[in-house]
C-alpha cells in the first residue's frame, strides 16, 4: 500500500495531519563525550519535554478554514512523561497576527489565567468574530506545581461567511434540451381504473395506449417509461422496451425511467404508443403506478413531449390480443386515473418520487481579470449534487463527492479553500464539474432518484480576492457563466460512472479556452436548504492498494484481486484505439469458476465505463461514484493490463485513526484489521451499512451498536456531531428518529426500537469518548422529544405501542426475542443515558425525572419479563392450546436485561448463570444478532464470566467472529455465515461493520482501557484488564482526547506482566477486590504497600489512583 502524496487541504476539515507526528515523537538525548556536554543535553531534554503542549484544535479540527462557529471550542494536549504531570491552569490567547502571539499578546482575546485542568471544549469568549478572517491562537499552561510550561506553538482558524446573507452566488447548472424537457414535463403517475374484488394470477399486467399525430419527420426520439415492477413498451407495434425478470432478491429499480431510442419506430402522421407495467406477485391488486414521457425532436429543430396525465390515453387491466398495435380496437378501454401520492413534510414528491434519469455531468466555467497584487483568495462553494472546482486548471482542494451527503431538503454544507497560489495577474478562469451526487442519484433498492428536489443539480460558489491594498473583489456564480456537457456522460453512486474521453475539451478550465460554442448557464431555483459550514472531515482518497494477482477466467476477461475488501474506485492506465469501451466491474467475491460474483450487489450495476480517446497512455479514475469491492473485472481490452497499471484508491471520511492493536492471536489480529477496514469502507460521508449494493444507507442500528468501537478507532468528535444532525433531521414531522439517516424519499422512512435509539446513544457515546458536551447540548431537545413520544404512547412503561418496524435482534442465529422486551429494554437504556447526560449538563430536574422514569420502566420490565431465580423470558402470544404456555428465553433477552440493569440486584448472578448455561447448551457458541452481540462479552465479563467471553471471542466455529476470519474475510460480514448464503443474495453483504462492535470489548476489557462517568473523554481512565493466557499477549494504544494511552500485557511464568501509560493531565482508576490486590505488585512493590493512593468503593472493592506516567505491574495467576 502507498500513501497519497501531500494534498491541498479544504476547509481545515482534512486529516489532522500534524497529530501523528506530534503524538508519537520520542525525544532522544545522545550521550556526550564530556560531562559539560552531557549536562547541557540533559537540561535541553528537560526543556523540550516541558514544552510539549501539542495538537491544538479548534472545533475538533486542526486549523479549520471556513469555520462559522461564533464561539469556537479550543482543545489541546499536554505531552509530559513525568509521573503525575498535570495541567493546573491555562491561558488562551487569540491574536490578529502571529507577531502578536510571539509576544504572548492576545489582541483579539485573552482568557486570562484560568485555574483547572480543562483542555477540551474551552469556548471562545471574546469580541464578535469577523467573517472571512484568519485568527491566530496559542495556549499557555502551568503544571501541577504551578510552574509554567513553554508556550504552545501557534495555530489558527479562519472564519467563513458566517451568515447566509453573505452568499452572493446564484444556484446555476445546465441540462441539455432533452433532459430539460423531460424534467419540465412533470409526467403524472397514472394507472388503470380499479377493479373491485379482483382476483388475478401470479403477476398482473396493466396497459396504456396513446394515439398521437406527428406533424413532420422525426430527427430523434426517446421514450422514457416505468411502472411497478417492470415495464414493456411498443411504438407502432414494434417492441422498444422489454420487461425484466423478477430477480432472486425480489425488487427492481422501477422508480427510475427505463429508456429507449425510438427514432426509427416513429413517422409523420398517426402513431401509437403502448406501455405495459408488469406487477409481480400481487394477485388481488388491480392497480399499479405507471409513468411515461415521449420526447420527440423534429427535423426542423423543434420538439414535442407526450406524457402520462395529458392527452387521450386509454387504459385496461390484463388486455388481450395485439392490444399494442394501431389496428386494435380500444373502444372499451377507460381513461387512466391518477395514482395517489402522499407529499412529505416539506411539500416535496411523495412515495413514488420523480423517475427522471440522472443527467450527464455539467461543465461550468467563468473568466475574470485580476489587475492588482493579490494578498489572499478564498473559494466558497457548495452544490445540490456533487462538484469539483479548479482555478486556472489547478484543482481546488481534494475532497471527494463534495459537499457530501445530507438531507438536501434541510441543509447542505459548503466548503472553503485557499486558492491564493492559483490566482495570477491578468485573465483567470474558474471551472467546475457538477454531478448528480447523492442529491439526485437513484437511492434504495427501488432506484428512486431526485429524492431531495425536482430541480436539476446546481452549483453555488463565490471567489473572494483580497488585494494588498485592502480592497476585495468577488466572482460569483450567475447567469454570465458558460456551460456545456462534460466527458462524464453518466455518474451514479450505485451504478458507476461513464467517461467518454473522446469528449474531452483540452484546457476547458483555463483562461485562454475558446468557449463561444458553450451555452449560458441556467439559473436554478431550488427549494433552498440551510447552507452551513462543513464542520467535519470530508471524504478523501487516503491510500492506494496494488493488486495481489490477476487472472483470466474467460477470454478477454481479466480479474484483479486486491487482497482486501474496501470502498473506493479503480485507477487504471490504458491505451488503445479511440472508441474502445473499457469496462470496469466490481465485486466482493469470485464464483467457483473464477468469474466475478455480483449477485449480492442486487440492482447496483457497480460498473464504470471508460471510452478511450486513442491518444496514447490514458489514466482514468472516476470522480463521482464509489464501489465496495475486493475484485476488479476489466473487459474491452485484448490483453491484461500490467498490475502496475491498476490500483484501488481507498475512499473514506478523513477522520484520524487513533488505535493500534496487536495480540498473541493471529486470528484476533486479522479480526481487528477486518473491523478497521469495515469502518473505513462504511464511513464514506455517512456511516453506511454496506458500501457495495443498492443500499449504502446510514442505518441507525448498525451505527449505534458500533459507535463505541468506531470512536476508539477514529477521532469522531466532529463526525459524530454531523451524524447526530442527520439523525435530528429524521424527526421532521415526527418525534421518532428514523431507521436511517439522512432520509431518502422521505426525511423519515420508518422507525423502530434498537434503530431509532441511535438518536440518544450516538451523542452519549461521543460524549463519553471525547468529553465533548457540545453534542449533548445540540441534541438535548431532540432526544427529549423522542423519549416523550415513546412515553406518551406507552403510559404503562412497557414499549408495546407505536413501536414502528419490529426488526428485533436482527439475524440472530438463536431466533427471535420478544419485540416488547427489546423495545422496553432500549427505552430504559435511553432513559438511563439521559439521566447521565442531564447530570453533565447541570439539568438537575431532568436528571431526577429520568431517574424516576427509569425505575418505573424497570419495574414494568421486571413484572413482565423477570421470573423467579433470575429467569428472563416471555410467553409467546402465538402459543397454541389451552394448557400452560412455554416460557421463551434467548441469549439476547438475558444480555439486554443485564446490560440495561433491569434486574433486581439479587437476581443478576442467577441471570448471568442462565446466560452462560444457554451458551453452553449451544455448544459454547453465541446465538445473538445485531442488538445482542455488542453487549454479550461485556455482560459476561461484568458478571464474572470473562473466561466465557474469551471462549466466544476465540471461537472459530459458526457462528463466531473467528468463523469469518477462518473463511477468508477481510472485512466484517452482514451474516455470521455469509459464505454459505451465496444462493440467497437478497441480503448478504461481505462488508458490514455491525458485528465489529466486539472490538469495543477488546479495547475496554481485554486491554482494559475505558472511560469513566467521573470525567468522560478519558480524563479519568478506568482500568480493568482481563488477563487470559489463551490470548498470549495484547499491545493496545489509543490516542485519546488527552493523549496516548497504552496498555500492554503478556503471559509470564508466574502470571502476567502488565504495563500501562497514563497521559499527562489524566489519571487512572484500578478497582480491585482484596483477593486481586494480593495478586498485584507495581513497580517492584506489592500493590498493598505501594505509594498509589487508594479509596474504598461502594461495591466493596478498593480503587487505586494511578497518576500520569508509565506503571508496570506483575499479576500473579489466580488460585
User: How far apart are the C-alpha atoms of 600 and 331, rounded to whole Å?
Assistant: 46
Sign of the dihedral through C-alpha 716, 721, 726, 730? positive
CB 702 within 8 A of CB 974: no
Catalytic residue ranges? 695, 974
User: How far apart are the C-alpha atoms of 361 and 433, rounded to whole Å?
Assistant: 7
Sign of the dihedral through C-alpha 737, 743, 746, 750? negative
How long is the chain? Answer: 1119
User: How far apart are the C-alpha atoms of 697 and 404, rounded to whole Å?
Assistant: 13
Write the CB contacts of 454 (distance below 8 Å, at least 6 apart in sequence): 183, 186, 348, 349, 354
CB 540 within 8 A of CB 651: yes
CB 922 within 8 A of CB 928: no
Q: Which residues of 782-809 are buried (b: 16+ CB within 10 A; e: fewer)?
A: bbbbbbebbbeebeebbbbeebbeebbb
Residue carrying C-alpha cell 459550514: 533
Conformational region of residue 441, where left means phi above 0, alpha means psi within -120 to 50, and beta covers everything else = beta
Write the CB contacts of 746 (distance below 8 Å, at least 6 apart in sequence): 344, 345
CB 415 within 8 A of CB 12: no
Q: Indicate the angle between helix axes 891-899 and 819-840, nearest 10 degrees.
A: 20
449: helix, strand or coil: coil
Distances (CA, A) of 150 to 443, 741, 841, 1098: 54, 45, 33, 42
Q: Say how many C-beta atoms besides its own lie within 10 A of residue 375's C-beta.
A: 14
User: How far apart are the C-alpha atoms of 387 and 395, rounded to whole Å?
Assistant: 11
Q: Say how many C-beta atoms besides its own lie within 10 A of residue 930's C-beta.
A: 26
User: How far apart are the C-alpha atoms of 167 and 163, rounded to whole Å?
Assistant: 8
Q: Indicate the angle between helix axes 819-840 and 844-865, nearest 10 degrees.
A: 160
Instruction: Look at strands 496-500 and 607-611 and give their pairing.
Output: parallel
Burial (0-12, 13-18, 19+ Cβ within 10 Å), 1046? middle
User: How far apart are the C-alpha atoms of 599 and 606, rounded to whole Å?
Assistant: 11
Q: Indicate the angle between helix axes 933-942 and 905-921, nearest 10 degrees.
A: 120
* Four-CA torsion 1038, 1041, 1042, 1048, nearest 10 degrees: -10
271: helix, strand or coil: strand
Residue carrying C-alpha cell 461521543: 766
Adjacent-strand bridge partners of 1041 = none
DSSP 1075: H
User: How far apart are the C-alpha atoms of 940 and 442, rounded to whole Å?
Assistant: 44
CB 294 within 8 A of CB 273: yes
User: How far apart are the C-alpha atoms of 180 and 690, rounded to whole Å?
Assistant: 33
Extract the C-alpha cell encoding 896. 439486554
Sign of the dihedral through C-alpha 749, 755, 759, 763? negative
Adjacent-strand bridge partners of 1024 = none
User: How far apart are the C-alpha atoms of 377 and 466, rounded to whole Å?
Assistant: 6
2: helix, strand or coil: strand
Q: Say how many C-beta atoms besides its own lie within 10 A of residue 194's C-beta.
A: 11
Amino acid at each position: 500500500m502507498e500513501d497519497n502524496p501531500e494534498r491541498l487541504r479544504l476547509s481545515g476539515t482534512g486529516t489532522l495531519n500534524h497529530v501523528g507526528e506530534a503524538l508519537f515523537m520520542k525525544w532522544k538525548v545522545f550521550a556526550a563525550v564530556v560531562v559539560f556536554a552531557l549536562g547541557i543535553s540533559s537540561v535541553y531534554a528537560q526543556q523540550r519535554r516541558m514544552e510539549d503542549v501539542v495538537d491544538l484544535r479548534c472545533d475538533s479540527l486542526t486549523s479549520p478554514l471556513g469555520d462559522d462557529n461564533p464561539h469556537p471550542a479550543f482543545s489541546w494536549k499536554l505531552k509530559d512523561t513525568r509521573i503525575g504531570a498535570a495541567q493546573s491552569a491555562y491561558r488562551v490567547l487569540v491574536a490578529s497576527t502571529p507577531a502578536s502571539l510571539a509576544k504572548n499578546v492576545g489582541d483579539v482575546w485573552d482568557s486570562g489565567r484560568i485555574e483547572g485542568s480543562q483542555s477540551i471544549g474551552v469556548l471562545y469568549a471574546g469580541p464578535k468574530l469577523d467573517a472571512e478572517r484568519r485568527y491566530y491562537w496559542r495556549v499557555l499552561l502551568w503544571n501541577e506545581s504551578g510552574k509554567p510550561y513553554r508556550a504552545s506553538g501557534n495555530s489558527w482558524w479562519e472564519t467563513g461567511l458566517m451568515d447566509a446573507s453573505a452568499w452572493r452566488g446564484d444556484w446555476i447548472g445546465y441540462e441539455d434540451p432533452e433532459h430539460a424537457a423531460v424534467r419540465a414535463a412533470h409526467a403524472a403517475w397514472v394507472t388503470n381504473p380499479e377493479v373491485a374484488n379482483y382476483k388475478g394470477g401470479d403477476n398482473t399486467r396493466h396497459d396504456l395506449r396513446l394515439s398521437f399525430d406527428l406533424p413532420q419527420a422525426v430527427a430523434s426520439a426517446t421514450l422514457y417509461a416505468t411502472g411497478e415492477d417492470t415495464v414493456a413498451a411498443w411504438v407502432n407495434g414494434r417492441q422498444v422496451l422489454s420487461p425484466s425478470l423478477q430477480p432472486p432478491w425480489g425488487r427492481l429499480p422501477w422508480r427510475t425511467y427505463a429508456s429507449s431510442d425510438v427514432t426509427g419506430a416513429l413517422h409523420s402522421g398517426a402513431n401509437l404508443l403502448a406501455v405495459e407495467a408488469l406487477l409481480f406477485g400481487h394477485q388481488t391488486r388491480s392497480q399499479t403506478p405507471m409513468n411515461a414521457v415521449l420526447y420527440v425532436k423534429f427535423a426542423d429543430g423543434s420538439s414535442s413531449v407526450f406524457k402520462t396525465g395529458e392527452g387521450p390515453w386509454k387504459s385496461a387491466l390484463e388486455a388481450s390480443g395485439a392490444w399494442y398495435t394501431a389496428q386494435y380496437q380500444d373502444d372499451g378501454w377507460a381513461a387512466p386515473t391518477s395514482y395517489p401520492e402522499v407529499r412529505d413534510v416539506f411539500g416535496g414528491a411523495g412515495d413514488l418520487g420523480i423517475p427522471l434519469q440522472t443527467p450527464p455531468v455539467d461543465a461550468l466555467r467563468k473568466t475574470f481579470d485580476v489587475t492588482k497584487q493579490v494578498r489572499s483568495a478564498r473559494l466558497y462553494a457548495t452544490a445540490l449534487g456533487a462538484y469539483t472546482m479548479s482555478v486556472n486548471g489547478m484543482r481546488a482542494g481534494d475532497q471527494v463527492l463534495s459537499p457530501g451527503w445530507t438531507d438536501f431538503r434541510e441543509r447542505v454544507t459548503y466548503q472553503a479553500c485557499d486558492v491564493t497560489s492559483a490566482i495570477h495577474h491578468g485573465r483567470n478562469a474558474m471551472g467546475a464539474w457538477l454531478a448528480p451526487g447523492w442529491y439526485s442519484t437513484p437511492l434504495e433498492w427501488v432506484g428512486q432518484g431526485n429524492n431531495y428536489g425536482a430541480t436539476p443539480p446546481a452549483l453555488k460558489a463565490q471567489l473572494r480576492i483580497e488585494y494588498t491594498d485592502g480592497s476585495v473583489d468577488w466572482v460569483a456564480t450567475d447567469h454570465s457563466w458558460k456551460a456545456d456537457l462534460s466527458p462524464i456522460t453518466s455518474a451514479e453512486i450505485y451504478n458507476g460512472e461513464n467517461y467518454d474521453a473522446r469528449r474531452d475539451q483540452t484546457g476547458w478550465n483555463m483562461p485562454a479556452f475558446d468557449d463561444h460554442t458553450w451555452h449560458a448557464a441556467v439559473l436554478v431555483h431550488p427549494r433552498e436548504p440551510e447552507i452551513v459550514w462543513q464542520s467535519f472531515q470530508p471524504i478523501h482518497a487516503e491510500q492506494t492498494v496494488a493488486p495481489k494477482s490477476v487472472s483470466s477466467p474467460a477470454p478477454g476477461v481479466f480479474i484483479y484481486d486486491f487482497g482486501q475488501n474496501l470502498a473506493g474506485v479503480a485507477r487504471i492506465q490504458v491505451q488503445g484505439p479511440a472508441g474502445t469501451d473499457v469496462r470496469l466491474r466490481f465485486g466482493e467475491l469470485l464464483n467457483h469458476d473464477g468469474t466475478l460474483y455480483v449477485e449480492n450487489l442486487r440492482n447496483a450495476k457497480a460498473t464504470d465505463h471508460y471510452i478511450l480517446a486513442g491518444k496514447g497512455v490514458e489514466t482514468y479514475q472516476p470522480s463521482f461514484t464509489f464501489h465496495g469491492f475486493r475484485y476488479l473485472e476489466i473487459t474491452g481490452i485484448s490483453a491484461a493490463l500490467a498490475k502496475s497499471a491498476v490500483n484501488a484508491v481507498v475512499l473514506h471520511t478523513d477522520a484520524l485513526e487513533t488505535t493500534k492493536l496487536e495480540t498473541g492471536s493471529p486470528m484476533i489480529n486479522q479480526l481487528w484489521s477486518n473491523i478497521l477496514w469495515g469502518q473505513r469502507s462504511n464511513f464514506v460521508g455517512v456511516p453506511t451499512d454496506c458500501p457495495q449494493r443498492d443500499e449504502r444507507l446510514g442505518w441507525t442500528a448498525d451505527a449505534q451498536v458500533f459507535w463505541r468501537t468506531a470512536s476508539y478507532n477514529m477521532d469522531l468528535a466532529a463526525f459524530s456531531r454531523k451524524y447526530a444532525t442527520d439523525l435530528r433531521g429524521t424527526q421532521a414531522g415526527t418525534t421518532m428518529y428514523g431507521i436511517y439517516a439522512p432520509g431518502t424519499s422521505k426525511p423519515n422512512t420508518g422507525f423502530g426500537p434498537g434503530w431509532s435509539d441511535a438518536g440518544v446513544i450516538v451523542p452519549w457515546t461521543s460524549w463519553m469518548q471525547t468529553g465533548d458536551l457540545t453534542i449533548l447540548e445540540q441534541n438535548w431537545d431532540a432526544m427529549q422529544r423522542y423519549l416523550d413520544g415513546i412515553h406518551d404512547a406507552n403510559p404503562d412503561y412497557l414499549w408495546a405501542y407505536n413501536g414502528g418496524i419490529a426488526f428485533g435482534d436482527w439475524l440472530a442465529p438463536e431466533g427471535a426475542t420478544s419485540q416488547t422486551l427489546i423495545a422496553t429494554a432500549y427505552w430504559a437504556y435511553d432513559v438511563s443515558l439521559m439521566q447521565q447526560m442531564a447530570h453533565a449538563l447541570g439539568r438537575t430536574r431532568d436528571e431526577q425525572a429520568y431517574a424516576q422514569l427509569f425505575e418505573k420502566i424497570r419495574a414494568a420490565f421486571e413484572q413482565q419479563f423477570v421470573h423467579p431465580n433470575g429467569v428472563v423470558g416471555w410467553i409467546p402470544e402465538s402459543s397454541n392450546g389451552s394448557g400452560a404456555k412455554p416460557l421463551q428465553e434467548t441469549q439476547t433477552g438475558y444480555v439486554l436485561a443485564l446490560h440495561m440493569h433491569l434486574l433486581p440486584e439479587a437476581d443478576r448472578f442467577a441471570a448471568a448463570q442462565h446466560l452462560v448455561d444457554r451458551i453452553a447448551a449451544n455448544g459454547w457458541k453465541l446465538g445473538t444478532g445485531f442488538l445482542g452481540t455488542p453487549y454479550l462479552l461485556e455482560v459476561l465479563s461484568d458478571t464474572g464470566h470473562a473466561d466465557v467471553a474469551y471462549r466466544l471471542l476465540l471461537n472459530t466455529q459458526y457462528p463466531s467472529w473467528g468463523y469469518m476470519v477462518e473463511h477468508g474475510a477481510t472485512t466484517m460480514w452482514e451474516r455470521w455465515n455469509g459464505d454459505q448464503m451465496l444462493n440467497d443474495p437478497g441480503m448478504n453483504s461481505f462488508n458490514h461493520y455491525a458485528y465489529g462492535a466486539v472490538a469495543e470489548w477488546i479495547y475496554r476489557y481485554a486491554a482494559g482501557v475505558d472511560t469513566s462517568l467521573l470525567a468522560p473523554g478519558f480524563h479519568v481512565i478506568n482500568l480493568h484488564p482481563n488477563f487470559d493466557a489463551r490470548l498470549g499477549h495484547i499491545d493496545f494504544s489509543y490516542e485519546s482526547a488527552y493523549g496516548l494511552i497504552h496498555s500492554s500485557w503478556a503471559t509470564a511464568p508466574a502470571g502476567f506482566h502488565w504495563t500501562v501509560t497514563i497521559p499527562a493531565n489524566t489519571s487512572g482508576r484500578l478497582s480491585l477486590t482484596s483477593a486481586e490486590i494480593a495478586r498485584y505488585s507495581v513497580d517492584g512493590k506489592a500493590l498493598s504497600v505501594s505509594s498509589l493512593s487508594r479509596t474504598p468503593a461502594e461495591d466493596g472493592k478498593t480503587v487505586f489512583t494511578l497518576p500520569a506516567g508509565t506503571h508496570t505491574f506483575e499479576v500473579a495467576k489466580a488460585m
